[in-house]
Structure 1
C-alpha cells in the first residue's frame, strides 16, 4: 500500500483541514483508495446520502477525484461522499470528454470527530500508467478549496498533464 498527501492550491484556504492523505493499492485492473481528511471536519459540507450510482457534476461540491493516464488520453473518476460516482474519458487535457466504461464502487464513508474517510475501488483502463489524485472541498459557507498532489499551474487545474506525477504500482 502507498500513502500520499494532498496539498491545497496556493490560492485556496484549507478551511480547517489539517491533513489530507490518500492510501491506495493496485490489484490487477482494480485500484483501492482511501481518502482521509483530518481537521475541523464540521466546517466541510458533506453531500447527503444518495445511494450508489453514476451521476454528473459531482465536482461542484465536496468530491474526491482520481485521474489515470490511458492510451493517448486519460480517465477521470469523481467519487462523492454521497455514494455517487462518475467516470469520463478524455483524448487530451479537457478535450474529447465522454462517459468512460470504467466504473467505481464506493465502499463506505466513516469518521470520527476530527476525520472523515471515503473508501472506493475503481476499474483501471488496461493500459493505465500514471496517476493524479485531487479533491474539491466545499465549506459550510459555500467556499471551495482545491487539493492535489501537485498544482502545476496558476489556477486549480486537475487536468493539467503535469498533475500526473505518480507511477501506478
Structure 2
C-alpha cells in the first residue's frame, strides 16, 4: 500500500487521503485499488458504459503509469468510475502518444460510503508492457464546487505533472503464474 500525496498547489476540500495498492498481478490481470478518505463531496462521473474515451482526467479519474526500467517509453492507463477508460503508449515524456491496443476492456468498480470511497480496477495483463516496471499511481479528485486535487506517489514540480518520470517510483515485479 502507498499513500498518494496531494499536490500543494491544488488542495482538496474534504478529502483527507488517497491510498493506492496493487492487490493482485498474475498472467491474466493486474488488479489495483484506490481508497479515498473524506469522500463526502466527491464528484463521481455518471455511468457511461464501457468504452475508450479521452479527457477522463477532467474529473475524478484514476491513472497508472508503467515504465520499464532504463527506457524513456511508458504506458498511461486512465480509468474512470463511469467505466470509460483509455490506454496510451508514449515514446518519451509526453512524446509519441498512441492508443495502446487492449485484448479486452478493463473492469472498473466504484463503491461509495459516507466518508470513504474505493475504486477497483482489473486490467488485462496481456495488454500491458512486459514487467518489471516502475509505476506511477495517480488520481484526479474532483469535489463539489469544482475543487480538483491531484494525487500522486510524488510530485516533481510547481504544477501537477503525472507524466514526470521522477514520479514513477513504485517497483512492480513480473507477474506470478496464473
TM-score by length of 2: 0.87
Q: Kindly indicate which of the two structures has a greater share of residues assigned to strand.
A: 1
Deviation at 1:14, TM superposition (A): 2.0
Cα–Cα, structure 1 residues 104 and 8, in superposed 2: closer, same or farther, change >3 Å?
farther
Query: Is 1:147 aligned to residue 145 of structure 2?
Result: no
Which segments of 5 or more consecutive residues in structure 1 lack a partner in the other structure? Answer: none
Partners of 1:139 and 1:19 lie apart in 2 by 13
Query: How many residue pairs end up in the alignment?
Result: 166
Aligned-residue CA RMSD in angstroms? 1.6
| 2:86 matches 1:82 | no
Q: Which moved more, 1:110-119 or 1:73-82?
A: 110-119
Deviations 1:94-147 (A, max 9, x none): 000110124651242112111111111123212442100001111211121100
Residue pairs, 1:52-131, within 5 angstroms: 52-70=50-68, 72-102=72-102, 104-122=105-123, 123=125, 124-131=128-135
User: Which consecutive unaligned segments of at least 5 residues does structure 2 have?
Assistant: 174-178
Structure 1 residues 90 and 78, CA gap change in structure 2 (3 angstroms) = same
Take 1:143 and 1:96, find their aligned partners in 2: how far apart are those partners? 31
Aligned to 1:37: 36
TM-score (norm 1): 0.91
